[in-house]
Amino acid sequence: MASVTRTGVGRRTRERRARLDPTPLRHFDFLLVGAVLAIGVIGLVMVWSTTKHRVPGDEFYYVKRQGLFLGIGVVAMAGVLAIDYRRLRDHALFAYLATIALLVAVLAPVGSNIKGHQAWFQLPGGFTLQPSELAKFGLIVALAGYCNQYRGELDAWRLTTIFAFAAVPIGLVMLQPDLGTVLVLTAIMVGLLAVAGLTARQLFVLVLLAVTGVYAAVTLGVLKEYQIERFQTFIDPESGTSQGSAYNQEQSKQAIAHGRLTGEGLGQGSQTQGGFVPEQHTDFIFTSVGEELGFIGAVVLLALFAIVMWRTWRTARLSRDFFGTLVCTGVLAMLAFQTFENIGMTLGIMPIAGITLPFMSYGGSSLITTFACIGLVANVSMRRFS
């Protein structure tokens, strides 16, 4: 009994010292950030493997660009860490308005249309910026700020206001049209509301609104035909409505199956090096992991994602204020949905929706945004005693 008592006193003493420690870096989550960086490095390797034949004479063309994006992402994460996250709570409205301004601007003539999507700004050096990716960060901060302000008061009016806040950026992204990002933003909203105190009845209303929104998008012609066919192919693979979607998913499953236990070897995958899987360095990058690194490589990657989500969930629970909990919940909802949907579509258990694999897929806007979101989580973690 005395031993148990001493253990309890020792734990309380350590917690008291931690609270008195003025240095937030003492509580920096090295495991979270280390796992994220490890996934990013694996992503660089797989981007090289999937693109080394794309640019004659420069097999590292895409790797150098992705490395630059990774570096900017780390800087963005450090920038978010440098600011007390509670200051973001006081500027949640500004984050929301900035998000809306960017989404409106990209639909104007200053935006660029690439592959049928009005979703990018052209930057010098051949780079592009996708505001819909940045909207994930903005929506997390904005909704967390609003739900924190009205904690315990989510009546019908407050809930309607939240829906209206979320509907504006979601609607603007749908006009691009970018169905994948719309689904991610919706997942962020649902995750935040679930923790903010959404009742079962309110959740039912939310589901009805989501179904109504999808039906309206389909019937009003907002979605492009190939986007609708992707879901039709997933529901009925034998329907033959979209040979392209069926081909992509079939080649993806074949590539993963070829990897077996240990993989065919880095840079040696027959499907990957043969270019049979479309968009393999972006949406279908997990297939190269499965084929070239095998089941073992895929399990290692999934374990790293599990660590990231566990540490995010842990930080949400340990946060000393509700805003920090909500921010971490929004990031967790985003990462969990994107990871499950992306890997699921490569395995054929989810429809193709054009969603990137966090920290892995080629693309600057997505990579920078996810690192900034990890910066939010690490920020909450290291300031939980301040």
Position 70 scores a pLDDT of 97
- Confidence grade of residue 203 (pLDDT, cut at 50, 70, 90): confident
For the chain, give the secondary structure using H, E and C.
CHHHHHHHHHHHHHHHHHHHCCCHHHHCCHHHHHHHHHHHHHHHHHHHHHHCCCCCCCCCHHHHHHHHHHHHHHHHHHHHHHCCHHHHHHCHHHHHHHHHHHHHHHHCCCCEEECCEEEEEECHHHCEECHHHHHHHHHHHHHHHHHHHCCCCCCHHHHHHHHHHHHHHHHHHHCCCCHHHHHHHHHHHHHHHHHHCCCHHHHHHHHHHHHHHHHHHHHCCCCCHHHHHHHHHHHCCCCCCCHHHHHHHHHHHHHHHHHCCCCCCCCCCHHHHHCCCCCCCCCCHHHHHHHHCHHHHHHHHHHHHHHHHHHHHHHHHHCCCHHHHHHHHHHHHHHHHHHHHHHHHHHCCCCCCCCCCCCCCCCHHHHHHHHHHHHHHHHHHHCCCC
What's the whole-number mean pLDDT along residues 30-53? 96
Higher pLDDT, 332 or 8: 332
Residue 202: band (very low, low, confident or very high) from pLDDT cuts 50, 70, 90:
confident
* Averaged pLDDT of the chain: 87
Lowest mean pLDDT among 20-34, 290-304, 313-327: 20-34
pLDDT score for 338: 97
Structure confidence by residue, pLDDT tens digits, 157-198: 888 888 888 999 999 999 888 889 999 999 999 899 989 888
Q: pTM higher than 0.75 for the full model?
A: yes
13 pLDDT tier (thresholds 50, 70, 90):
low
Confidence of residue 238 (pLDDT cuts 50, 70, 90): low
pLDDT bracket for residue 354 (50, 70, 90) = confident
